Amino acid sequence: MSDQLSSRTTDSTAAVNPVQVDLAGDRTSSGAPSPTLLEVRDLRVNFHLQRSIVPAVQGMTFSVNAGQTIGIIGESGSGKSVTARAIMGLLPKKTAEVLGSVRFEGKELLDLSDREMRQHRGKNIVLVFQDPMRSLNPTMRIGTQIAEALHSHQKITRADAHKRVVELLQMVRIPSAEQRFHEYPHQLSGGMRQRVMIAMALSCGPKVMIADEPTTALDVTTQAQIMELLRELQRELNMAVVLISHDMGLAAMYTDEVAVMYAGRVVEQATTKRLFKHVRMPYTRALLDSIPSLDHPSLEPLSVIKGRPPDLSALPPGCPFSPRCHFAQHKCEESPILETTEDGDRFACWFPL
Amino acid sequence: MNEHPHSLASGEHLLEVRDLVVEFAVRERSGVKGAKVQAVSGLSFDISPGETLGVVGETGCGKSTMARAVMQAARPKSGEVIFEGQDLTKLSNKDLQDVRKHLQIIFQDPFSSVDPRWRVKNIIEEPLIIHGAGNPEEREKRVTELLDLVGLDINIHGNRRPRELSGGQCQRVAIARALALSPRLMVCDEAVSSLDVSIQAQILNLLIRLRQELGLSYLFIAHDLAVVKYLSDRVAVMYLGRFCEIGPAELLYLQPLHPYTTALLDAIPNTGGHPSKHHEELGIEAPSPINPPSGCRYRTRCPRAQERCALEEPQMRFLAPGHGVACHFPNNSNTSEPRD
Amino acid sequence: MALSRYPTVLPPMLAERVSNFRQTAQWRRSLDIWVPAGILILLVLACFFGPFIFGLPGPNAGSLLDARLPLFSAGHIFGTDAIGNDLLSRALYGGQISIEVGLGSMLIGFVVGGSLGVIGGYRGGILDIVIMRLLDMFLAFPSIILAFVVATFLGANEINVIFAISFFTVPAFARLARATTLQLRERGFVIATRLLGARERDVLIRHVVPNVIPSLMTYGLLTVAIAMFIEAALSFLGLGIPAPQPSWGSTIASGQQYLSNAPAIVLVPSVFLFTAVASLNSLGNALRTRIESQ
């Protein structure tokens, strides 16, 4: 495994491919060539509801290469989960209008029928959910469930599937994998169930993993273990990872690039190191400030973002964050344009910090 | 005997919990029925008027069970819960009704803690009606006051149903309802855990403001250490039904004495970008309360565990005023690792 | 309410794909409720007011001279039965009976069964066990046999038929109410209300019952259909509404022998019965889907 692809977080000045997408469609890269596995361009999702059209995602653009992680950070209503489901083709066809382009290894996914998409889903691109208790079948043994994932994508004998499942359980560091094979989800702890979910996701050797709030439902110590596990697995399998979360701390530690979303739009996007060194968007700054950190003196009021998360069906004109922004001015009634700096960072604000 | 059993002599605690034990029957993995689990095994703590005690612990440590036991929603097996001078465990359900005016609870999921078919103003009015407080006009006035206190407006929000509110707003409604009868102690059981980060900050600030304006005490239970520390005067760390460390908030974080506290602190993702050092030692599986390890319950995950730890369960010892730890080999406060 | 507009200035679209999204028209989405509801309303109106509005002859006013007239005969749009009675009239009057029986047994089940289920479910313990075992006894019998037995015992008339069918609807509603109550009992707001100091009675009336009723209501529609069907079966077997009062079931029964030369005698009431039951089922399902998705 090439070193360039495997070093992460602590050393961001190493020869990592800067992730850049020139809007004209060419790709520039420096360092060793590594394939852009997933390329999302100007993804838009509109939900056509009974009385309104809700623009859930407006213009999401990013790409991930093998061995890299991009974090999509936002609160509820930001559009991050919708983005994940749009990429996987899991949005309801009747109400969700999906525009833009999602390319996996150069092939356009949004044009595929459900049957064609199923070839990719679970095999090349996998989605790990937040709450494993909801995604695991409580009446089936976990070994059987993972085997089911194997059987649905390849011809494999039961004996081979069993072996592979045990291998997978070991890969996610579940002790006594042979015995665990026969257990039911409710017999496992939350952290173990999430490992089972990850094992299921890895069963067919995916190239891209989308993790939608994978640790939100877990304790802080389990979270650390699962994130470390994901990091190791990514290195071993050279996967591209899209990490969706609301936790800036996780983003800081486990991603190469971060895109901050608000009200369906990307408001700031940069490599992780650069983002945390220089936060440009007031929302990102406010988000960081409103998290009580251990160093924050007790009982001193947190700097709060006033107001509430936006109602997507009734957005104000211009910048969606303006009603809550300390620095809002008249110009903010005009939608800020997403600007790109020379390094390839992006932000959408008239008055960046 | 006090003439007024509800007023406290000066210096007395608002809440005193002694040796609280909560058990329930569980079906074991192998299908054996009737095994008993001690979710809470002998907790003792006090809360003074106006004080906030934070309780931190991970899933399965029994903190929510403790909250319910204090409220007498689930009756404890043994122990005392002395609130305003009365032992709640000895009161009948009927007598408890009166006490409930002063002891209230906020739950984690605001939407399931209110009736989805009711309107906001009725939800808040309900405790007043239950306890026969005032006539309809007085009640309406009080509801308006309460909504105002939590930052909502009766004209805007009063007629709405919970599903028309956001998570933060709904939690405010739950808080307003709990405040209706002027409680003295509020138990917050993961009250902000299911809210967005920016809303969480708002609700925390609200809780602080209410504490100052109304002189409330809180028993604040959560799994997020930073949040707990932010709100609390003292913090207790809970593991498998027992406290392993208790002390003033700032001190606990700067100089943790128990290895579990240190592990928890290290596991917090931080924007500095340094990964946790201790996660491997913690092992894959948290032991379950059904079969706790002998001696010190934490020993199976502790980097410093020794023979003594398996033989003898450590008792809470106060190494500094107000700062206690239950460990045979606590962190040496002189040489504890610097926190960055 | 106007459609909300997109934000005023959208950044220009960059990707080349064109979407072929077609939005399902709004009115079509509610068809699954309004079609069966409309049919049912028409049916009820027709059965109770139709005979007056259309000036139909009475259900037993026929003469042998007009026996077995085919469809679309003069003065008898659906023809006549073996003794000359107008089939449409018999169908409509018979419908009155069926609707009354259906509604009656459903209401008894709803009120009595619902109450038993809520009380048993909330209290638990011995009370719950006793109630449920008693009701289980009745549920163990196939509903038709049960009604059969009761009707034989009590004698056949409309009230007794309603009573007999209630032996089925009461346990059925009780079971559903109990299950819903058991779920509700653990919900946050029920616990919260108790912790506010409310008495058990208050909690039940204010919070549990109002939340149980919606699921009972959708089940209620399906129960009406079942009750109608049981009544028809009873009458078919001669145990229900006695002649000469018409009922869909008895008309079908007596028309069997004429199936080859005057099939309308069987078909007309059958179509009515089918329409009623199918509409009730569709409406019940559509409402349940609506409520669940909320």
Q: What confidence tens digit (pLDDT) does each residue in C29-83 have? A: 677 888 999 999 999 999 888 888 877 777 777 777 777 777 777 777 788 877 8
In the predicted model, what is the mean pLDDT of residues A51-55? 82
Which of C188, C196, C210 comes nearest B100 by C-beta?
C196
Q: Identify the residue whose tokens are 């909690």.
A: C203
CB within 8 Å: B267 and A174: no
Helices (H), chain B: 63-71, 93-99, 120-130, 136-149, 154-157, 167-179, 197-214, 225-231, 249-254, 259-267, 307-311
Interface test with A, best of B198, B235, B254, B261 (most A CBs within 10 A): B198
CB within 8 Å: A111 and C26: no
Report chain B residues whose CB lies below 8 A from the CB of A182: none
Interface test with A, best of B207, B227, B271 (most A CBs within 10 A): B271
Confidence of residue B202 (pLDDT cuts 50, 70, 90): confident
Interface test with B, best of C185, C186, C194, C196 (most B CBs within 10 A): C196
Confidence of residue A84 (pLDDT cuts 50, 70, 90): very high
DSSP SS3 for C30? coil
Interface test with A, best of B150, B196, B229 (most A CBs within 10 A): B196
Among A333-347, C54-68, C123-137, name the most confident range.
Answer: C123-137
Q: Shortest Cα distance from C191 to chain B (angstroms)? A: 8
Report chain C residues whose CB lies below 8 A from the CB of B117: 210-211
Q: Shortest Cα distance from B113 to chain C (angstroms)? A: 4
What pLDDT was estimated at residue A352? 81
| CA A72-A73-A77 angle, 5° bins | 105
Q: Residue B278 CB: number of other CB atoms within 10 A?
A: 18
- pLDDT over 90 for what percent of chain C? 19
Mean pLDDT of chain C: 82
Q: Shortest Cα distance from B165 to chain C (angstroms)? A: 15
DSSP SS3 for A264? coil
Q: The complex's ipTM?
A: 0.78
Report chain A residues whose CB lies below 8 A from the CB of C293: none
What pLDDT was estimated at residue C23? 56
Whole-angstrom Cα distance, residue B294 to residue A28? 60
CA closest to A52 among chain C residues: C3
CB within 8 Å: A318 and C8: yes
Among B132-141, B187-196, C170-179, C186-195, name the most confident range.
Answer: C170-179
Report chain C residues whose CB lies below 8 A from the CB of A89: none
In the predicted model, what is the mean pLDDT of residues C133-158? 82
Cβ-proximal residues to A147 (8 Å cutoff; 6+ apart), any chain: A158, A161, A162, A164, A165
CB within 8 Å: B107 and C188: yes
What pLDDT was estimated at residue C260? 84
Whole-angstrom Cα distance, residue B279 to residue A201? 23
Confidence of residue C22 (pLDDT cuts 50, 70, 90): low
CB within 8 Å: A192 and B285: yes
A243 touches chain B (CB under 8 A): no
Q: Shortest Cα distance from A154 to chain C (angstroms)? A: 32
CB within 8 Å: C15 and A51: no
CB within 8 Å: A99 and C29: no
In the predicted model, what is the mean pLDDT of residues C141-164? 82
pLDDT in tens, B13-38: 899 999 999 988 765 555 555 677 88
Neighbors of chain A by Cβ distance (3+ pairs < 8 Å) = B, C
CB within 8 Å: A290 and B198: yes
In the predicted model, what is the mean pLDDT of residues B27-54? 79
What pLDDT was estimated at residue B73? 87
In the predicted model, what is the mean pLDDT of residues A59-69? 90
Angstrom distances, CA of residue A31 to CA of A4, A17, A340, B98: 8, 6, 21, 73
The more confidently predicted of residues A329 and C102 is C102
Which of B168, B200, B249 comes nearest A308 by C-beta?
B168
CB within 8 Å: C29 and A50: yes
DSSP A223-248: HHHHHHHHHHHHHHHT-EEEEEES-H
Q: At what angle do helices C158-185 and C87-108 cross, to 10 degrees?
A: 40
What are the residue ranges spanned by the domains of chain A?
A: 14-280, 316-341+348-353
CB within 8 Å: A220 and B200: no
CB within 8 Å: A292 and B273: no
Q: Indicate if the pLDDT at residue A59 is higher than 70.
A: yes
Which of A9, A222, A304 comes nearest B201 by C-beta?
A304
CA closest to C197 among chain B residues: B97
A98 touches chain C (CB under 8 A): yes
CB within 8 Å: B58 and A219: yes
**Under 8 Å between Cβ of A261 and A226:** no
Q: Indicate if the pLDDT at residue B238 is higher than 90.
A: yes
Confidence of residue C263 (pLDDT cuts 50, 70, 90): confident
Confidence of residue C7 (pLDDT cuts 50, 70, 90): very low
DSSP SS3 for B186? strand
Which of B96, B98, B113 comes nearest C192 by C-beta?
B113
Which of C6, C9, C16 comes nearest A334 by C-beta?
C9
Interface test with C, best of B68, B98, B115, B122 (most C CBs within 10 A): B115
Which of A42, A48, A315 comes nearest C23 by C-beta?
A48
Neighbors of chain B by Cβ distance (3+ pairs < 8 Å) = A, C
In the predicted model, what is the mean pLDDT of residues A319-337? 81
- Long-range residue pairs from B207-214, CB within 8 A, at least 24 positions apart, any chain: B207/B175, B207/B231, B208/A299, B208/A301, B210/B149, B210/B150, B210/B175, B210/B179, B211/B50, B211/B52, B213/B149, B214/B179, B214/B182
Report chain B residues whose CB lies below 8 A from the CB of A309: 166, 196, 198-199
DSSP SS3 for B151? coil
A170 touches chain C (CB under 8 A): no
Q: Shortest Cα distance from C291 to chain B (angstroms)? A: 13
What pLDDT was estimated at residue B335? 43
C14 touches chain A (CB under 8 A): yes
- Note the CATH number of domain A14-280: 3.40.50.300
A250 touches chain B (CB under 8 A): yes
CB within 8 Å: C197 and B177: no
- Tokens in use for A340? 């790109």
A97 touches chain C (CB under 8 A): yes
A307 touches chain C (CB under 8 A): no
Q: Identify the residue whose tokens are 């100089």.
A: B255
Which of A100, A313, A320 comes nearest C4 by C-beta?
A313
Angstrom distances, CA of residue C107 to CA of A213, B1, C104, C161, C221: 48, 58, 5, 14, 10
Q: Indicate if the pLDDT at residue A12 is higher than 70.
A: no
Mean pLDDT of chain A: 80
pLDDT in tens, B271-329: 655 555 555 556 656 667 777 888 888 888 888 888 888 888 888 888 888 899 999 88
Among B123-132, C53-62, C243-252, name the most confident range.
Answer: B123-132
The more confidently predicted of residues C55 and B155 is B155
CB within 8 Å: C15 and A101: yes
pLDDT in tens, A206-229: 999 999 988 887 777 788 888 989
Report chain A residues whose CB lies below 8 A from the CB of B281: none
Cβ-proximal residues to C204 (8 Å cutoff; 6+ apart), any chain: C118, C119, C122
Q: Shortest Cα distance from C3 to chain A (angstroms)? A: 5
A314 touches chain B (CB under 8 A): no
